[in-house]
Every structure is written in structure tokens, then in C-alpha cells.
Chains A and B, each alone.
Chain A
Amino acid sequence: MNIIVCLKITPDPEDLEVGRDGSISTERAEWTIGGFDLPALEAGVRLVEAHGGKVIVLCAGPAEINNSKIKKDILSRGADELYTIVDESLRHAGTARTAAVLAAAVQKLGEVDLVLSGEGSADLYFQQTGVQVGERLGWMTINAVSQIEVGANGALAIQRTLEQEIELLEAALPAAIAVTSDIHEPRLASMREILKAGRKPTFEWSLAELGVADLPETIDILKVEAPPRVARKQVMIEGSPEEAAKALLSHLRKEGVL
């Protein structure tokens, strides 16, 4: 079974800088693999370990994603090959553009049975791109999948976690599946895998090579700003634990919240 895993490399949300005027900057942020995408990679690697085939990772984004440390990290977690699609227009792309680009790459790779994506990207978390890729391919498309097994008939046996219930589904391949963040705990790479990663193939494609250089943009981003913040008193309570506990309770009684 050949599996493509879509991973988004983004500025680390924890490095977001908020200016006094409410402006937001990611300029000094380190770029990382989305934390909610790694479980999708783990799911792909486990399926291939059990059933054979290979895991190909696809990452689309601006030039920052061409980061050798991140690439090595991806390949040391069990991926066999890595394709990056680099274009400045992907930095602020609507999900329609990103999905069209990823779907074009899946088509170009061919001979793929399953496309996995994460629960949501670390920067946008729109939970959209993976399902749009599946629909653009015309494949069976399912989200919120918390377990994947291959049944005796070759179809996938899937567990899906909804708000109030769990569904057990059977889905024929080829399929596009967006997994939940708790489908698997992502593995830590072993020393052996890290050494192997340096010898694994990586490729870079341009939008022109995929035939998607002239996609129209569907959104116009007007503003990015910090959310309104609630003003808080910011009283720090000092003293021994016993003193601090008593002082806190007396504050809370005065506030009328006990």
C-alpha cells in the first residue's frame, strides 16, 4: 500500500509575537512540522510497516519549508521519500489553492492508495485542506478518523470519533483520510533512523511542474491582529505556601467568587 502523508510546515505558534499595537509577527518564529500532523505520519508509517509499500510525505509552502533539519526530522520518523512544493503564493493561500496543489501532486505521483492528513494545521487549524484534497481527487473522503485497519477484503476498517458517538465504517481504496490528533503518539526517531534519513530521497516541485501555476486566489487577507485581551489585575501573591494560600482565599472572598 502506497501512502501519501500531507504535513504542513509552519511558524511555531508558540513563537508568535504580539506587538503593543496588537500586531502579530511570526518573523522570529522557528518553523516546525505541525504537531497535529505528526500523528498522520505515524499512522501512515504503521500501516506500511504492517502491510508493505511506502510512505511519501508532501509538504507545500513558501521557501522556509526547505529546511534541512525539518526534512531530516520527517525522514527519520519513518517516511521513505519527501516531496516539497515551494512557492511564495502558498504562504497566504486559501485552502482551495493549497488543496488544488496537493491534489495535483498526488495525481502526478500516481500509484497511491491512501492520502492521510492531520487533524488541522498548526497555524490555521481550519480542518479543511485534507478533505478538500480527497474531494478534488474524487476519492472516498473521511475526517476525524481515530483508527485505521486493513480488512480481509482489502478495504479499510475505520473508526471515526464524532461529538457524541463513534462510527465504525468500511471504506474502499483509494481514500483520503484526515485523522485525529490522538490516533497515535508520534514516535521519537532512533539513532539508526536519523542516520538513515540523510540517505533518503527528497524532491522539490514547482507549481509549474504540477500544472497549477495560474490558480486564482479565492480569499483576500485584509488584516491579522491579536484577539481582544481581557484586562486582568495581575496581583502576584508572595510568601510561604501557607501564607499565600490564606492570602489568595481572602482575595477570592472579597471578589465574591467563593
Chain B
Amino acid sequence: MEDKLLAIFAEESHEIIDTLERGLLVLENSQDPEEINSVFRAAHTMKGNAGIVGFDSVVNLTHLMEGLLDEMRQGRTKPDAETVGLLLSGVDALKVLVNGYMANESPAPPAEIMSALSARLGEESPSPGQARVAAKANAAPRKDSRYRITMRFMPDIFTTGTDPLQLLMELAELGTIERVVCHVEDLPRFEKLVPDNLYFWWEVWLLSQQSLSTLDNVFIFVKDDNEITIAADDAPGQGPSPEPAPEPAPVASAETAPPAPAPERPPQAVAAKAPAPSPPGKAAAPAPVPAAPAKAPAPAQAFAPSPTIRVDTEKLDKLVNLVGELVIGVARVNQLADVAGGETDHTELSSAVEALDHISRDLQEQVMRVRMIPVEGTFNRFQRVVRDLASELGKKIHLEMSGSETELDKNVIEQIADPLKHLIRNSADHGLEPPQERLAAGKEDTGTIWLRAYQQEGKIIIEVADDGRGIDRNRVLNKAQERGLATPGVTYSDKDVYGFMFQPGFSTAAKVTEVSGRGVGLDVVRQNIEALRGSVDVESALGAGSTFRIKLPLTLAIIDGMTVRVGGEILTLPLLSILESIRPLAQDVKRVEGRGELITVRGEYLPLVRLYEVFDLPTERTDPTQALVVIIESVSKRFGVLVDDILGEQQAVIKSLEQNYQKVEGIAGATILGDGTVSLILDIHGLEKLAFG
């Protein structure tokens, strides 16, 4: 149970920290009071939550941040760069603190930030928002004391949700009620009676060991607005008992307490007698319940039920998997129906199977869609990244985002953040020029980085573009030759040249900067993206900027594949990587010393990979002119893959080999075909490694 609370706290903290960060960045540029409010609220909630789980350092830090934000809210402090900067460093410290606590440490609040915040607030020392000291312990007296308690309430007490009967019952729990007198003399004539009002008042004699303050606490919420007196009393309610005293009851009971003035007026009875379902709705207003909200100022949306629920991703994965199985199963039935239909007339069967096929595919699509979330969250994080980069590099950078509503599989989104961050750093560091250089080049001194997402042909495209200096082809080529990646004298296309940048160990940065050049190059970006079965390419114009374009599949669970045959095996190639397929002529295939086997495609020489050799599959079709060559494009190169035959295109639900067997180089997973046979799905990146080392 405790863990569950902590898990929720951790999850919510991340959301709050995101909100804080995003909100603060917006505030720096605008002074929107609504934004100030929402940032304040975030800090406020953070503090409250930390108090609940007992993370004092977080409480202390957020207390100060909240204070400063409150100043802002009151208009006493402006959200200038300095203030926002200070609060942002507070947010960073929050992350560290929360992580620390979650790792079972007891991190101390950051002294420097705390004192800077205190200084801004004009507080001498950080005053922790400590939990309020709990009510004084009651040293209960041994002996019973007698108390006389009078309770006179406002006539409309019921509409504050307080029921005097409950107070009587609470008193009864604290001791023995000797006597209760209910005064009914204020009850008006029936015509004047307001059913909602309370006309009675009570006198109670209580024998109790409790202290006066404990009894006082019973009335904690009502004593300010109602006449409540509690006094020690020696006489057991003879003297004080007023004249009209109608048969004093020995013990407080329902009969004495609410002898309801109007029989059909049971508000107090609602709370008291019946915790049961319907009463308040029926009792209070004659109007049917749905009519009531119509009077509310915000009627239409006011009663919208909660729009979202949280679901464990594991459950979703299971669902996706099961639906995948369903689709395969239906495809199988479909095939069998076809076979059966060939012999006899089975139109009804095949139309039923067809309908089933439709439904299961729709179902699959919908289930997949559940996993999709907008890239917005990830995108927004980069505002901060760019801001930090700009100050680190001494450049002026504006980040322009579009398409943040574009949806992607949650798994993909989680794994795309790092590569994107890297590309943005790359653009900020290598792409954009320092302000003077930009001015000298006749550009605005502020550089722009664009982050765009959109959907195209069933793929998600994410672009990181800048209006910087562009990629210097010759410098890249020189470097590639230096590193032995390119062969001097060979003519390379732009694409080939840019491809070198994605090779391991390639770095053109003349000097290693704090920002990039951390030994992690674009090759890692490529690997990450290819692991997501995506691809990345570059466009660039010298002096005008570069665009890195990432193409991603909509989902990781399904792959659009081309099924091919090699010997007795059926393999699936990811369609995303396939350019075309050809049947080569004898003169198109050559073996070149040092470069292996090559195939000419419209004058271009591409390496040829014989799949049956790579995977050691026995086949008769070893003559390329009798077989087919599928041209594959990966980030770094294009190459041909020799297969026996192409069987068709098919959506494949990917089953992980790693989970069910073990990782196999060059194989991304397996899928079950319509006829029930298993087909291995090739991993292009891995295949490339196998074939070219």
C-alpha cells in the first residue's frame, strides 16, 4: 500500500515537474496570469504531496518556490529571466530530491538555491512548511465530570451539511448522556414552516471523563456560527432544566433529537438514519435530479464524467498481443475457407469470414490507437533543452514546434526522446552559427530550430531543421577519408557523404564542445532509430541550414513486411526499407576485388548480399539472373539482397525472439503467417552488420 502511494507520488511528481518547467518557460515570455496560476498550483500541489509522503526537503524547497510564485501571482514580482532562472534551478533540484527520496535516500535541500529563494522572499532563513503540530494530547481526567451543553443552531444548519443528531451521537460516545432536553417552542405554525429549517435547540447533560477541550472539539466546525456552550455543572439537570421541558429522555436518542417538524422533510434523517442510496436526491428537491444542474451557471459541461482513465501499459501490451493473435487466426480461417470454397459453394462461409476479418482488423487498429499518445509532452521538454543550450553556447536560438498533436506509439515516444535531443543539440552546436557570424552572413542573429512532426504515407515523420550554416560536404568527405570510411578518388553522392556522418567514430566538430562531442555521435542516433525500425536522412544546403528527417512506423507491434522465399524458408523484410526489386541481367552482376559482389542498378553500383549465404540456407537458386534482388536502403547505404522469390506484402504482428528464445543477429523477430507457418523478420541494421561487418 505504501509502495502504491509512492508510485503515484513519483508519477505525479514527474507530471508536476513537467508542468512547472513548461509553465516557467512560457512565463518568461508572457506574463499570463492564468499561466502564473497554473505554475503556482503545480508548486502548491507538489508541496502538499511531499508533505503526505513525508519528503521534507521537497516540502521545504517547494515552500519557498511557492512563496516566490505567490509574489508573482500578487504582481509583486515579475517573471523576468532571473526569477525564472532561479525557479528553474529549483525545479532541477526538485528532480534530484525526488529521485533521491525514491531511491530511499534522505537528500538535503540545495542550500544555495534555498538561500537565493529566501533572499528573494525577504525571509532570513528558510522556514519550512512544517506539518501543523497535532492537537494537544488530552490528559484525560480519571473521574467523571458532569457537563451541561446547550446547542442552538442557525436555522439553515442542514444546508451546511451538518446534522445536530450526529453531534449528539458524538457526545454520547464521549461519555454517558444523562439527559437531553429538546426545545420545540420555536416551531412555527405549519403554514409558516420552512421545511429546510431547524427550529429546535437542545440541552444535554453529559457525564464524561473527557476534558473540556475534547468536548469543545466536537463542535469545532460549528461553534463559530452557532450558539454552543459547554460548562461544568454539578446539578444533574434539575435547576437548569427549563419549564417547558417535555419528558426528558434518559439517553439521547432518535426520538428526542429529530422529531422532524414536517414528516416529509428528512434532511437530517438522510445523513443520520440512512447512509443508503437515494435519499438526498429525493428528499431535498421535488424536482428530478437532472433538472437541478440546469440552474447551474455552467450546465452543459458541468456534469461531464471523467474523460480519461489510466491503464497499465502491460495490460495494453497483452491486449495488443492478443488482438494480433486474433488477426492471424482469422487470416488462417480465411485461407481455409478459400480452400474449402474452391471445392464447393461456400459463399456464405466466405462472406462471414470476410466480415470477421474486417472486424478483427478494425479492432486491431483501435487497440493500436489506444497506445498512441501525442508527441507534445516530449516536444515541450525541448523548450528547456534549447534554452539551456542557447545560454551554454552563447547563441540566440528560437525553437519553433509544429505538429505536436501528432500521435505515436507510447513505446516509440519514450525511445525517440534521446535521439531527438541529440539532433537538437547537434543543430544548436554544429548547425547554428554564433550571432556575429549570422549577422555577417546577412541572417538574423537569432537562429531557428524547427521541430516538426507529421504523418505521411502511414509513417510518422519527425524533422529537426535549422537555418544554420548547413553541412559542408567537402569537410565531411575529408573527414570520412581520414577515418578510412571513404575511398579517395571514388565519387560519392550527397546521400553517401551525409551517410558517413552516421558511421561510428565520425565527428566533424573541430573542437570538442561541452554540448556535443561527448563521444556519442550520430551513429548512436541512427542505431536508436533503427532499433525502432525507423530511418533517418539528411538534407542540407550550404549556408541555408540542414534538416534531419526521422521516419518511424506508427507502431512497433506491427510491421508492414514483404514476404520472400529463400530455400525452404519464408522471410519477412520490413517494407519501410525496401526501394524496389529487380531481376538482374547477367552483365549487371560483377565481382570487384576488395568490394565484393556488386550489382548495377541504373548505372549505380550497389553491394549484393546473398541471403542464403548470410543465413546459411540451402537453395538451388544461386544464379542471380534466375532469382530476384530486393534493393534495400538503410541510413548509411543501399544494397541489394538476393532472394529466391517474392511472395507478397503482408502486415505482420511481431513476436519477440528475445523474449521467447534469444537474440539472433540480423533477425528482428518472428511472425506467424496466415497459413500458420513462422516467418523470421529481418533486421536491416543487423543484416548490414552481418554482411559488411
Partners in one complex: no
A interface residue numbers (CB < 8 A to B): none
